[in-house]
Each structure stands twice: as structure tokens, then as C-alpha cells.
Amino acid sequence: MEAIILFVCTGNICRSPMAEGMLKAMLRTDSHDTLCRVCSAGTWTQDGLSASRLAVEAMEEMGIDITDHRTHHLTAQDMAAASLVIVMVRGHRDALVAEFPKAKHRIVLLSELAGEMHDVSDPYGSDSLRLYRECAGEIDRLLRAGYRRLLELVKEKASER
């Protein structure tokens, strides 16, 4: 069974598509891209919207193309299929644990992977590229700091299923 890493944020327009794009790039660079499938979803979105223009621009500056991203509303099937669900804020973790209690052990806050405990701020609604760059930089920092832990969890959670 293929391991699936699912990033979740509110709208699936900024943070989760940026995290998805970054992790895919990291996995390709390390030749781990066959280890798992990386995707993203939103708790409060509709299907088929593009990523935020400023999120796309911030990612382009990092050499990552997310122009093909389309939003996806989180479903029970997504939660059941995911080996690891990575959320951006504690509120999402708490809400998902309440709605999907059987998935509790597979839901983790992004900052927890890096040994920290804080939310990743949402730049949505801002017209400041600087805020999107800061958000992308924070996600990148947390993914890099928590990369080994993430790989361990993916292997562990995939073997449990």
C-alpha cells in the first residue's frame, strides 16, 4: 500500500499547497519520491480553485511550480487513505481529531515535526508578497527541521496500516 502524506489547512489555497510543493521537491531531491504520495486539502474550501497568486509567486521564487494546483475539500476518504496528516494549526488538529477519532495517531502539527509547538500563520487575504514569503520560509524551515522525523513517521504509519 502506498503511503500518503496529506497536508491540511483551511482553504487549500496558500499554506498546504506550498507545503505540498516543497515536500515533493525535497523528496525528489533525495530520491525518496517513490516512498509516498504527497497531496493537500482544505477544511473550508471548494474543489477546483487555483492556488493564491501570491503563494504561486512566493513558490516560484523558491524554484517550485504550484501553478497546476487545484483546491480540494477534505473528505472522510482522504482521512482514511492518509498515512500521515500534517496540519498547520492546532485548531485544525483538534477539529480533525474530533471528527475522525480513529485517525488521531496519524494527525500531526507541522511544527511538531521540528520539535516545536506553534501554528503557521495564514497569509490568505493579504496583498503582501512579503507575508507569503515569510509563510513559505516558515514552512520550508519546519519541513527541513522535521524532514527525518517525517520520513520516520511515514514509514511507521504505513507499516501499521
Does the annotation mark 33 as catalytic?
Answer: no
Distance of alpha carbon 16 from its chain centroid, rounded?
A: 4
Catalytic pick from 14, 15, 106, 135? 15
Inter-residue contact 16 to 88 (CB < 8 Å):
yes
Beta bridge partners of 9: 42
What is the spatial order of strands in the sheet that 3-9 belongs to? Answer: 36-42, 3-9, 84-87, 107-109
* Burial environment of residue 33 by CB neighbours within 10 A (0 to 12, 13 to 18, 19 or more): middle
3-state secondary structure at position 7: strand
Q: Is 122 a catalytic residue?
A: yes
Q: Which of 33, 37, 119, 122 is catalytic?
A: 122
**Does the annotation mark 36 as catalytic?**
no
CA-to-CA distance for 5 and 113, rounded, in angstroms? 13
Selecting among 9, 14, 39, 135, the annotated active-site residue is 9
Positions marked active-site: 9, 15, 122
